[in-house]
Chains A and B, each alone.
Chain A
Amino acid sequence: MSARQTTAGLPPAFSELAPGVSGARVRPDQLVAITNELATTHPARLADLFASEPRHGAELTLRAVYALDDAARYAIVECPTSGDEFPALSDLDPAAFVEECEIYEQFAVRPANDKPLNRVLIPPHADATFPRLGHRPRPELESLHARHVVEGEAFEFPFGPVRAAGWESLYMGLVTTGEEVLDLYLFHWHKHRGIERRLVGLKPERALFFAERMDGLNAVGNGLAFCRAIETAAGARVAAAAAHTRSIALEMERIYNHAAAVAATCQTTGLSVGQARAEIVLEELLRLNAAAFGHRYLFDVLAPGGVRRVGDADAIRKQLPRACGEFRRVTEALLRTNSHVDRLEATGMLTHEQAQRLGLVGPVARAAGCPIDSRADHPFAPYDQLELSPPVRESGDVLARMEVMLAEVAASEQLVLEQLADAGPGQIDVQPRSAAALGWAESPRGEALTWVSFDSRGAIERARLRPASVRNWRAFDDAARAENVFTDIPIIEASFWLTVAGFAR
């Protein structure tokens, strides 16, 4: 980590790494202290925690990424570790637990506490040859895996991993006495594809292909975070017209995803006619994506250094207001349908405190009163020139999440239309070498982060991909336990509208 200058307002150990990003390198015995110090200077939100091991037998490096949303800054704390343990940040910050489990699975080092860990990505049938990021012998997961004990009158109702058509593979262990959900745990690992490991050794252009497809419904959001990390590492600045094109694609991705979430919510409440109307709008939006950008799910719009495709402004100008207008009419009708709204109110509730404690992002956090949106809090071109006011609701239930999404569709439509005249092509050559950087973007599901390091040949040494789903799935069991019954679980899942692929990647 190369220091450029001291960052004002942060502990002295921090220096400026890139615009909006500061970093500090500390010893393991200093990690907890500097984390506490950081928390006292700013309301720091743990955005990510990951490890890297560049070479066989090399020292492991731990990186904690904190979002200082009030200071428009990310702070990366870097800590070399040796031995079999690393300082347990989850003792201070529960939001670190999932990542600590992931580090254990990938690198065979565990947090220095006695807490049992969860299985998150590596499937139970994995043997010693199963691809992992680390080089140490395979960890003994079973001995440390937290056991799920179901006692008394409760029993476990297994649901998944094969579920209704169109839903991703996910196992839910629903613990119940009959109707009320007492506990719930999830197995995401059926969709683990080892993408972070697959990216090692690739050049940026080829790696972007995988980063976009890791979580297909967030191709632009995750891809943009990835591209921005590459460009920051190379010290490159994307042309203004290309930045507008990227933003248009990102907002169109947000619109179609939120429309899909509304359709899924109707499906789960049994309102088939509302589902059909919402899916008609969704299909119109996907066809508009294809007409404007050449792909229904907006793949291959981005390129390191700019864009590969430019949107068809005429098609967007003509069709987007029509589709969004119909979406508004459908959702107004939905909100007048009592049988639908009754299922959304006070269902799957998350409190403001839970959202903060777990470091949630996106519409799930905003519906629980957390006004975080990386477009507004950590702005980059063109969002630094656009007027943004992220919608926030306080009740934290399914209805609040739906209301946030509806408001975001309207806002995104305006953002798209007002940028059409400024959007255009542009791609500059970016060749990062012996450098590393953080990239971020506000995907439809919330803040997406990427950290990438390159070797002297310009190949990827380590790419950390942290889609929004990685952060928000950890709140799903809290929301599901909040005095809900069996049939509420699919409704809550639709309102979270996360991807299993994004979590398991």
Chain B
Amino acid sequence: MAFWFFRGLGKGIVTTRYPKAIDPWTSALPTPPAFHSDRLTIALVDRLIEVCPSRALAREHNELIFDVGACSACERCVQEGAGAVEHSGVFELASTRREHLLKRVHIGRGSA
């Protein structure tokens, strides 16, 4: 068993500084989308709703309702809405209240 002890000494401490500091590798994680309000149209939003497999998107009149809690960061909406939708880069999504995970985004270009 002694070799496990010496191997451990040789390897040193392997741990993370999170949450004090964000680990660099987390930039590779899939993250929920961010929407550019001024580039959204109703037609595009309806297409985004159609491609979202986890039903995280919905529309109420001229607003896109984004349920971050239902999003699986699959990136289908980013592909469909290139230019108007991009990766948010945000992976710390915990919230103490469910309603904080519901985002409302104004559809800036309406039915244009």
Contacts and interface: CB of A to CB of B under 8 A. Distances in A.
Interface string A291-308: 100111001100000001
A295 B75 CA distance: 11
A273 B4 contact: yes
Interface in B32-78: 53-54, 72, 74-75
A277 interface: yes
Contacts of B14: 280
Nearest to A312: B28
A290 B3 contact: no
The A contact surface, by secondary structure, is helix
Contact of A337 (B4, B53, B75, B79): B4
Contact of A209 (B11, B28, B54, B79): B54
A83 B93 CA distance: 53
B55 to A, nearest CB: 10
A315 to B, nearest CB: 9
Contacts of A274: 4
A333 interface: yes
Contact of A294 (B4, B28, B53): B28
B8 interface: yes
B21 interface: no
Interface string A255-289: 00000000000000000011001001000000100
B3 A333 contact: yes
A339 interface: yes
A147 interface: no
A336 interface: yes
B37 to A, nearest CB: 26
Interface in A53-85: none
A206 B53 contact: yes
B25 interface: yes
Contacts of A280: 14
A291 B4 contact: no
Interface residues of B, number: 18
B29 interface: yes
Contact of A336 (B3, B53, B54): B3
A427 B1 CA distance: 52
A290 B29 contact: yes
Contact of B74 (A287, A299, A339): A299
Contacts, number: 40
B20 interface: no
Nearest to A274: B4
B28 A287 contact: yes
Nearest to B87: A294
Interface in A323-342: 333, 336-337, 339
Kindly name the residue among B3, B8, B74, B79 whose own CB sees the greatest number of chain A CB atoms within 10 A.
B74
B7 interface: yes
A319 to B, nearest CB: 11
Contacts of A287: 25, 28
Contact of A291 (B1, B5, B28, B75): B28
A178 B27 CA distance: 52
B74 A296 contact: no
Contacts of B72: 213, 299
B84 to A, nearest CB: 19
Contacts of A273: 4-5, 8
Contacts of B74: 209, 299-300
B108 interface: no
A287 B79 CA distance: 23
Contacts of A333: 3-4, 7
Contacts of B4: 273-274, 333, 337
Contacts of B3: 333, 336
Contact of A339 (B1, B5, B28, B54): B1
Contacts of A339: 1
Contacts of A299: 30, 72, 74
Contacts of B79: 308
A323 to B, nearest CB: 13
Kindly name the residue among B4, B7, B14 whose own CB sees the greatest number of chain A CB atoms within 10 A.
B4
Contacts of A294: 28, 30, 75
A7 B14 CA distance: 58
A351 B90 CA distance: 51
Nearest to B28: A290
A294 B29 CA distance: 6
B47 to A, nearest CB: 13
12 contacts: A209-B54, A209-B74, A213-B72, A273-B4, A273-B8, A287-B28, A290-B25, A300-B75, A333-B3, A333-B4, A336-B3, A339-B1
Given A209-B53, A213-B72, A277-B7, 16 more contacts: A209-B54, A209-B74, A280-B14, A290-B25, A291-B25, A294-B28, A294-B75, A299-B30, A299-B72, A300-B74, A300-B75, A308-B79, A333-B3, A336-B3, A337-B1, A339-B1
Give the top 8 A-B pairs by smallest Cβ distance, nearest first: A209-B53, A290-B28, A291-B28, A273-B4, A287-B25, A300-B74, A206-B53, A280-B14
